[in-house]
Amino acid sequence: MLQVYLVRHGETEWNVARRIQGQSDSALTPRGEQQAYQVAERIRTLGITHIFTSDLGRTQQTTAIIAKACHGCPIVLEPGLRELSMGILEARDIDSLSPEEESWRKQLVDGTSGGRIPEGESMEELAARMHRVLARCLDLPKGSRPLLVSHGMALGCLLSTILGLPASAERRLRLRNCSLSRIDYQQSPWLASGWVVETAGDISHLDIPALDELQR
């Protein structure tokens, strides 16, 4: 049975400042680096064979720390693992949004049909590209155990849709910075074949979990 591990990047400066990141970028905070080292220690014993990471800076920073614990396994930069594009709201302070801009954001996260930020993408588009990356894991050699390093909304949309929920249900999953999740691909005459969620959002390896920007 193929096991795929999922990690969200460490806390960033914009997480702390309550700024919308999307596909823009912000460096890890010292706490974010500490989180990455802690999840790396957790991952050290999991037998990871491949790492696929979003090509955004915050995930690459997180991956560079994790990779040291994975004994030189190959790293692939994967744009399909990027965070949701937040269009014209990227880099904005959450508290500075106008009522109209906040309505765009709310329609998006509430799962309103066609909801998206102008010049951004929808939750459904995000989920589709995440599933395309995940499907490629099925082509890895037998015995592989890949790790995907991505973002909160991106991983939330992936897990939600695996569970048969709408992509917008990602806000019902609490995937904190450097949380660890696992999904398995099972083929069984007795169980539902396909992807199943084994664990989601595990933070037992973190000393002090960080709050998301919307919880601060």
Q: Please check if 125 is assigned to a binding site.
A: no
Active site residue 131: no
Q: Please check if 85 is assigned to a binding site.
A: yes
Do residues 58 and 12 touch, judged by C-beta distance below 8 A?
Answer: yes
C-alpha distances out from residue 131 to 20, 67, 96, 117, 134, Å:
24, 23, 33, 22, 5
Q: Please check if 213 is assigned to a binding site.
A: no
Q: Please check if 10 is assigned to a binding site.
A: yes
At 150, give phi and psi (nearest 5°). -145, -145
* Residue of 78, 83, 121, 213 marked catalytic: 83
C-alpha distances out from residue 197 to 70, 79, 84, 108, 149, Å:
23, 23, 21, 24, 16
Q: Please check if 15 is assigned to a binding site.
A: yes
* Residue of 9, 78, 170, 213 marked catalytic: 9
Active site residue 83: yes
Q: Please check if 104 is assigned to a binding site.
A: no
Do residues 77 and 55 touch, judged by C-beta distance below 8 A?
Answer: yes
Q: Nearest Cα to 181, choosing from 43, 32, 59, 35?
A: 43
Q: Please check if 156 is assigned to a binding site.
A: no
Q: Please check if 84 is assigned to a binding site.
A: yes
> Which residue ranges make up the annotated binding site?
8-15, 21-22, 58, 83-86, 152-153
Instruction: Please list the active-site residues.
Output: 9, 83
> Which residue ranges make up the annotated binding site for substrate?
8-15, 21-22, 58, 83-86, 152-153
